[in-house]
Structure 1
């Protein structure tokens, strides 16, 4: 029996419950037996809607002694972080996951495939007894990033365990390769079609008896499609003549829709048919929501009655409160609503759903209903209010999707969304795009109130400009002052604005003012729960102390920064690099060389995430890494990191004291002896970015596609990695990287055999 555990991340428990099978559903015992005896780590059940995929998997769960971790996927899972969370929560119900694994799924961090998947995969690989992970409705997940997560997890499946997926279409996964490797068991349409005997049992369970000839004709006409047979049964039960059961039915979408309307909906009581059609705009339903959207009463009783009399309605909880329509029937009902009602009616229904969700604290659902309703202003306000929470929740794909709904003209009317778009692009290395989005925000003349209480977009824009320092330190100080003058006290942007202005003061040589701003950032960041801001401020205070020779204070600050990174699970944040590198400097000063090397390795892992988007932080980290490697007599690593920092400074040459520090350090680097690339830490940032992908299922062309580089570049970087790590293969390079700390030992799968081509 599945243990009852809390479901973190606000996910609905119903997503993770194996569906109950209704009396009369066909068992498909032979197929269930085949799945039970399969030794393949992946089983796919691929067929169009209505073929009983979910029922088959639920029957398998009933018959198999192994525990089943079940996920009912939906459109909200089409975000790599949300997808992986859903997988983790399904596993968590069977085998409670460690806090470290759950923390890794919180907040923004490195790429999900290489920073989060290994942690969940490692937990899967070490399960004490075999299990089956079911991913139902995989067709709801289309993004490459989500499918990469699934493919990567397959490498962690231990012997005796399986992943099973149900989808309406073949997913964009290397199924051919896995088939050839014997890693795949496939169930398709031919396996799921009902025989004449199975059809007779289904019809009988629905209360319909046909003679052998009529039954055979219906099976032939529907080609054994279970949903078609069930629709025909409901039609016959509703009073259609027996001849209509087969004669009116054909398998393509248009005929199914026509049959659904003419032979089923037309025979239902008008009130029931109207309720079905109009409530079909809802992803999930309860009585109160339906009452509000349909402007009626006693919807809860209607839902309860529908659930008891047909398979249209699926309960989502044990209390009989929340329901959804069976996916196929929901689509048919929505098609009929759009065919029979003016578009304005559909928009009105979605608008009422949005209003109900806002009133009941369901803001994310309100966004999607508002988008369907064409309520652009309301959606913009909602996305503005949800922007920072989504970022801190690590769901940047979802935020970017929502912002992508708005065209350039609309973004100038809703400049908060343009600022969010610029931040997202800046933090993910798309600097030209970030500049364009920032320009849209700067052109805005909107007076729409902002979610943090700001009177205009001006302080948001100023804060972003200050962080980017594209016009040098002097202008950044003007922008930083403006941002803090005009951001209201309750604005969640204030902690970050204090850190940015503190950095500007530090680069200008105003140490006292920098200390004041960083100290204020710690205080306000703690009040707002902005842990990522607090550890940066602590690390910057440690760096100031280190430069004036106050090593005791530097050590205290550095330890506080690193402790916060570890306690909050934010080790994959790019900005945590400054905490690790300052901790390394302190450790080396105190003679703790191994601790220093370990901290340096953690900082190096994050180098690929640092670039000219936040130039001052990137150069700071580069300078401190260079100093640490010089102290360790690692000239190759020092030279590599220093040269990368010089390239950033060439793009942002007006960084004041950092320019002076680079000039002073250049002589020390040039004076060191030893060949470049003499140690693993001499990997370039680009090579470190590629390194974790060597431990995945991806071929080099696929890795190149994920990193937006050419295939030749990917292979060249891999060969350089092999040379610097003293390795001759992908698996050997991964093992060596784990040994030196560039990859975390506890989260990568057992050594696999990889070739240079794949």
Structure 2
């Protein structure tokens, strides 16, 4: 059942793991001790030291008795102990910490409900770890946390995070690691400080006296000499001695058997197969061999695998006989991992071909029981790719290949699918995989084949909706608005045919459909229609499954606002896009527009004259990889080219303006803005005729989003009359913001000045300054001609430009004393990301820590720091923090 946590501050809070699955409660319970468990006081006394040291490590080989030792010790403490058993496959940081948090809650550790839970299996927000450490440090009594089988967590990153929490939790945490290998923690520091309790393999080994006591629990006695020899040969390995005892119990001459084992047997595999498996009844042997293909099993699954309904008593008997069948509770069991591995190998020899059939049966049973991830894994293991693909599509889970939930796992799983799978679902998965890898041509081939096959299956609404999703994605990636619109016409009808519970279970499907359609419309220049569907996508329920599509939608909405000249709106939406992914700790891969929000912010920084910050945002966007679609490619090309122009590199700007991603149709706004940049580059190189020629074939169709840009370019190239005529034909008011209207006002001011009407030019300049000041829009004034800039020096305009566009004028020498505002220290305001960096400087974080905390590169942080120092007029960290505090920036 789903994990619930009762809070005194409100109703119960329900948690699920980062993959959306209920927490497995058996992983929070210490294992039960068998009737033949041997309590060893010397080890228990040593383990008592764990109550006084922050770190304890119980390190020993498999079967050394580590887990049972700690479980028995914890049970006798008469106080809550948080227990978490790691398993293979839980390698992601997010999954690990989600289970640790749930283990603490299961032990009634008073954690606040709003602490939350990681949403991405592969990563965890450092802020969450810091908050957890802080909560633990404030508890009145230390929390005991046992991490069993910690050797299954080889990630150095998890070890680093665990050390961070342990260090900052102070006296609030006592961590006990049960492991087979040396954990990747700075153990030398704890050893040197004497703050670590350590029980290693040699200490776990049974002494001759303990081994004799263990055998007596099994009803066996050996002479002292024979016992010494057995302990020597097994080196006191608890599991080996226990296995020997179990086998010897069945022998008519236990002492002779143990001597024979001592002399002739050298591998535990031979022993298990020959002496444990063989001692079971034929029915029990069959059960053991068949359940070895699954990780966990219950009586119902055993019935599916064996064809018999007597699984429950057989499992109970095997568990009671200590036949390496572990009781997980709630009628679920599992085999000892080593035993299971040996049984699977034996199954392949004993019954060739049966393993595949068992995987197939398990897959169908797990699919029917609602365990899709496990069903897919067993379907793949059986090589039944038609079933596996069908299960994914029928569950409407194909969108998970693009939303960061199970993308990498699903991609790896289906990478093994061969051409033998010929169903529509298989071709849909192939198409999704190819489109995700940007192999659009192959993806479209598979998509068309799937469409043909689905035409004969009109009742397959989930398959057809998945097909439409991929169709809109292909339309987006190829810049084909017509394809997207044709696909969109069937969406509403299909949404009505798909079961409501599937749509509720997978809200990412609708969110992805809307964002892809919005991108296609945006590329076509249909801003109003694009804004409508993107706003609907942004309004989808917030959650881990919709975080990336919502981020994508906000990024595209930010781009539309920027193209329309609304800088402030664009900035707010771009920051909202970044926050959407970051609050769930998700990366931004796949066709969800990686880096688009950063590209918009880079363009905004160019508009505001913050060139260092613009470069930092462009570098951050580049870390996301190649642009996935024409919209993002154009945004990157234009932002890069405008930055190069602003830095005085016209030739490089002209080369960068051409987007590298081809498209089926030409985007009017991308074409116009590319031409404007190329024209400006020609003009900067002293070629006005070439600059005008570039603009000759452009038609803005009365669209204000790029009419003002073209008019600006024509005016700069020496055609003010043509520029004004273009503006007169275009309705700028209403939809457009200062990014458009300021340029239009400057064009008219330049034309008026050239006509000798300085009065009108000043009025237009004044209006432009008022509008630009609200948005800190500096670039148009810096790019204006020298004649216009000279007008700014006049008394009537100095006050409007002072303090944000040009430095404030000093008070007249010898003038009357009057209160004067101090000259602004920060000539350029800090961006939002620069404030975040300064805030972390104040927390004494290193450059590397800031980079990790903000999910950016170290070089990006260094670029931010250089920009901060320049804007604050300082030379170092401490001075930057002090100056920022003086001016209320942090």
TM-score normalised according to structure 1 size: 0.71
Contact 1:313 1:326 in 2 (8 A): yes
Deviates more, 1:651-660 or 1:82-91: 651-660
SS at match of 1:208: coil
Instruction: Evaluate the alpha carbon distance shift between residue 207 and residue 400 of structure 1 in structure 2; reply closer, same or farther with a 3 A threshold.
Output: farther
| 2:386 is the counterpart of 1:377 | yes
Which residue of structure 2 aligns with residue 478 of structure 1? Answer: 482
The separation in 2 between residues aligned to 1:529 and 1:697, in whole angstroms, is 26
Which residue of structure 1 aligns with residue 336 of structure 2? Answer: 326
Which residue of structure 2 aligns with residue 26 of structure 1? Answer: 38
Deviation (angstroms), 1:388? 2.8
Which residue of structure 1 aligns with residue 365 of structure 2? Answer: 356
Could you report, residue by residue, the CA deviation over 1:271-318 in whole angstroms, capped at 9, with x for unpaired residues?
A: 23332232232321211111221111221122223333325222222x
Which residue of structure 1 aligns with residue 116 of structure 2? Answer: 102
Could you report, residue by residue, the CA deviation over 1:719-757 in whole angstroms, capped at 9, with x for unpaired residues?
A: 656655669xxxx9899899999xxx99xxxxxxxxxxx
State which of 617, 627, 650 in structure 2 corresponds to 1:612: 627
The separation in 2 between residues aligned to 1:436 and 1:206, in whole angstroms, is 68
Which residue of structure 1 aligns with residue 267 of structure 2? Answer: 255
The separation in 1 between residues aligned to 2:399 and 2:677, in whole angstroms, is 38
| 2:453 is the counterpart of 1:453 | no
The separation in 2 between residues aligned to 1:737 and 1:252, in whole angstroms, is 73
Deviation (angstroms), 1:493? 4.0
The separation in 1 between residues aligned to 2:190 and 2:422, in whole angstroms, is 45
Instruction: Evaluate the alpha carbon distance shift between residue 282 and residue 567 of structure 1 in structure 2; reply closer, same or farther with a 3 A threshold.
Output: closer
| 2:314 is the counterpart of 1:302 | yes
Deviates more, 1:525-534 or 1:38-47: 525-534
The separation in 1 between residues aligned to 2:116 and 2:547, in whole angstroms, is 17
Deviates more, 1:325-334 or 1:531-540: 531-540
| 2:291 is the counterpart of 1:279 | yes
SS at match of 1:75: coil
TM-score normalised according to structure 2 size: 0.62
SS at match of 1:209: coil
Deviation (angstroms), 1:349? 2.2
Contact 2:518 2:533 in 1 (8 A): yes
Contact 1:495 1:525 in 2 (8 A): no
Which residue of structure 2 aligns with residue 595 of structure 1? Answer: none
Deviation (angstroms), 1:395? 3.3
SS at match of 2:243: helix
| 2:261 is the counterpart of 1:246 | no
Instruction: Evaluate the alpha carbon distance shift between residue 125 and residue 528 of structure 1 in structure 2; reply closer, same or farther with a 3 A threshold.
Output: closer
Deviation (angstroms), 1:229? 0.9
Which residue of structure 2 aligns with residue 687 of structure 1? Answer: none
Instruction: Evaluate the alpha carbon distance shift between residue 715 and residue 694 of structure 1 in structure 2; reply closer, same or farther with a 3 A threshold.
Output: closer
The separation in 1 between residues aligned to 2:547 and 2:861, in whole angstroms, is 35
The separation in 2 between residues aligned to 1:613 and 1:346, in whole angstroms, is 41
SS at match of 1:156: helix
- In structure 2, the gaps of 5 or more residues are 7-12, 608-615, 681-777, 784-804, 807-825, 835-844, 871-875
Instruction: Evaluate the alpha carbon distance shift between residue 312 and residue 411 of structure 1 in structure 2; reply closer, same or farther with a 3 A threshold.
Output: same
Could you report, residue by residue, the CA deviation over 1:628-654 in whole angstroms, capped at 9, with x for unpaired residues?
A: xx9xxxx999999xx999969643476
Deviation (angstroms), 1:234? 1.1
| 2:529 is the counterpart of 1:513 | yes
SS at match of 1:310: coil
Deviation (angstroms), 1:136? 2.2
The separation in 2 between residues aligned to 1:735 and 1:208, in whole angstroms, is 77
Instruction: Evaluate the alpha carbon distance shift between residue 219 and residue 525 of structure 1 in structure 2; reply closer, same or farther with a 3 A threshold.
Output: closer
Contact 1:347 1:372 in 2 (8 A): yes
Contact 1:558 1:582 in 2 (8 A): no
Instruction: Evaluate the alpha carbon distance shift between residue 80 and residue 649 of structure 1 in structure 2; reply closer, same or farther with a 3 A threshold.
Output: farther
Deviation (angstroms), 1:231? 1.0
Deviation (angstroms), 1:624? 9.7
Deviates more, 1:500-509 or 1:354-363: 500-509
The separation in 1 between residues aligned to 2:46 and 2:656, in whole angstroms, is 59
- RMSD over aligned CA atoms reads 5.6
Aligned ranges 1:72-87 → 2 under 5 Å = 72-87=85-100
Which residue of structure 2 aligns with residue 594 of structure 1? Answer: none
- In structure 1, the gaps of 5 or more residues are 426-430, 590-600, 684-690, 708-713, 747-758
| 2:516 is the counterpart of 1:500 | yes
SS at match of 1:612: coil
The separation in 2 between residues aligned to 1:307 and 1:500, in whole angstroms, is 54
State which of 53, 56, 74 in structure 2 corresponds to 1:61: 74
Deviates more, 1:300-309 or 1:601-610: 601-610
| 2:54 is the counterpart of 1:50 | no
The separation in 1 between residues aligned to 2:257 and 2:859, in whole angstroms, is 64
State which of 121, 128, 131 in structure 2 corresponds to 1:122: 131
The separation in 2 between residues aligned to 1:293 and 1:573, in whole angstroms, is 40
Which structure has the larger Rg over C-alpha atoms?
2
The separation in 2 between residues aligned to 1:331 and 1:240, in whole angstroms, is 30
Instruction: Evaluate the alpha carbon distance shift between residue 55 and residue 300 of structure 1 in structure 2; reply closer, same or farther with a 3 A threshold.
Output: same
The separation in 2 between residues aligned to 1:439 and 1:737, in whole angstroms, is 54
| 2:480 is the counterpart of 1:467 | no
Instruction: Evaluate the alpha carbon distance shift between residue 264 and residue 439 of structure 1 in structure 2; reply closer, same or farther with a 3 A threshold.
Output: same
The separation in 2 between residues aligned to 1:412 and 1:287, in whole angstroms, is 33
Deviation (angstroms), 1:397? 3.6
Which residue of structure 1 aligns with residue 158 of structure 2? Answer: 149
Could you report, residue by residue, the CA deviation over 1:418-439 in whole angstroms, capped at 9, with x for unpaired residues?
A: 34435655xxxxx6xx669747
Query: Aligned pairs, how many?
Result: 678
Aligned ranges 1:144-543 → 2 under 5 Å = 146-157=155-166, 158-160=169-171, 161-170=173-182, 186-249=198-261, 255-310=267-322, 312-317=324-329, 319=330, 321-339=331-349, 341-384=350-393, 385=395, 386-389=397-400, 392=403, 394-406=405-417, 414-422=426-434, 425=437, 438=443, 441=446, 453-455=462-464, 459-469=468-478, 473=479, 476-485=480-489, 488-489=494-495, 490=498, 493-518=509-534, 521=537, 530=546, 532-533=548-549, 537=553
SS at match of 1:323: strand
Of structures 1 and 2, the one with the larger relative CO (CA 8 A, separation 6+) is 1
